[in-house]
A and B are shown apart, each in its own frame.
Chain A
Amino acid sequence: MNGWSELDRFLRTDPRDVGCAEAMEMLHIYAELTAAGAPAEQRYPGIAAHLAACGPCGEDFEGLLAALRDEAS
């Protein structure tokens, strides 16, 4: 990915983005659905949009998902 597309990707905002507060409130539900292989991003598109754009919330999601997968393995 070159600089133009990376800058464009960063500046684009998704109107479905629910923000950190709602994503953090729902993160355990979203992560559990994801870990179970359910289409969490279809059920909660606003959270999916947020996790794709917000580094800290995306990192928390990856951490929680890793914990669930580690537990299941």
Chain B
Amino acid sequence: MVKEHGTVRPASAAPAELDAESAEWVRALAGTGARREAAVVRLHEMLLRIAHAEVRRRGPRLRITGPELDDLAHQAAADALLAITGKLAQFRGESRFTTWAYKFVIFDVSAKIGRHFWRNPAVPLDAEDWDRLPGHFGFDPAHQAEWRDLLAALRRAVDSELTARQRAVFVAIVVNEVPLDALVIELASNRNAIYKTLFDARRKLRAALAANGYLDTSGSS
């Protein structure tokens, strides 16, 4: 179950024994002098390569182009490098060191894409164009008579069943299609809290629609 403020379950009670390559990374980065500097340079090169590949992978779905994507990759790699060297003691050897390190740069790419959204948002946060909703879910306009009542019931449930916070998050993400990571920045929140708010909203809305016979009551909540 999604927890808003729950503690994160450790993968294992004790640190795993490091593989030779990971151990070498940790020794070099925890050390000093030229050996550490060389490891930092090498790590940064790897992070930059991963960041470039990731922005290229996501690029076609973003409204960000060449130079900005390149800049974003450099920022993500630099921030990830700082985070990794600052959190080196937290590496427990549950994966290879490089996999753990790559995670940081992937997260940084996500965060920077979320921040970038507000430079030129597709819709203002306070927009509320419910006419866009059928298209989001793939309802066929030719069969409007079949789904008009369902979406009207959904909208009523959004207004009557959700808290103000849940409604705001639902409208932003589902109606206005604001990316969750962008909303995190706008609301000065975090991904887990926004997801939990949306999770609870989804559960309430489905229950309301099922109670009124619009959706079946089988399966998960």
Chain A residues proximal to chain B, CB less than 8 Å: 1-4, 6-8, 10-22, 24-29, 31-32, 50, 53-57, 59-60, 62-64, 66-68, 70-71
Contact = CB atoms under 8 A, between A and B. Distances in A.
A20 B221 contact: no
B172 interface: no
Interface in B194-210: 195-196, 199, 202-203, 205-206, 209
A19 B196 contact: yes
A73 to B, nearest CB: 12
B106 interface: yes
20 contacts: A2-B140, A3-B137, A3-B147, A8-B215, A16-B1, A17-B1, A17-B199, A18-B3, A19-B196, A20-B195, A21-B8, A22-B3, A27-B103, A28-B103, A29-B94, A56-B181, A63-B109, A64-B102, A64-B103, A66-B57
Contacts, number: 141
B116 interface: no
B6 A21 contact: yes
B136 to A, nearest CB: 9
Given A13-B221, A60-B107, A1 B3 contact: no
- Per DSSP, are chain A's interface residues mostly helix, strand or loop, or mixed? helix
A19 to B, nearest CB: 4
Given A2-B138, A11-B205, A13-B206, A63 B106 contact: yes
B113 to A, nearest CB: 9
Contacts of A62: 57
B11 A63 contact: no
Contacts of B3: 18-19, 21-22
Contact of A20 (B9, B109, B192, B219): B192
Contacts of A7: 137, 150, 154, 215
B54 A63 contact: yes
A60 to B, nearest CB: 5
B137 A67 contact: no
Contacts of A26: 11
Nearest to B91: A28
A59 B96 CA distance: 21
A20 B191 contact: yes
Contact of A31 (B1, B6, B99, B180): B99
B95 A29 contact: yes
B139 A59 contact: no
Nearest to A19: B2
B220 A3 contact: no
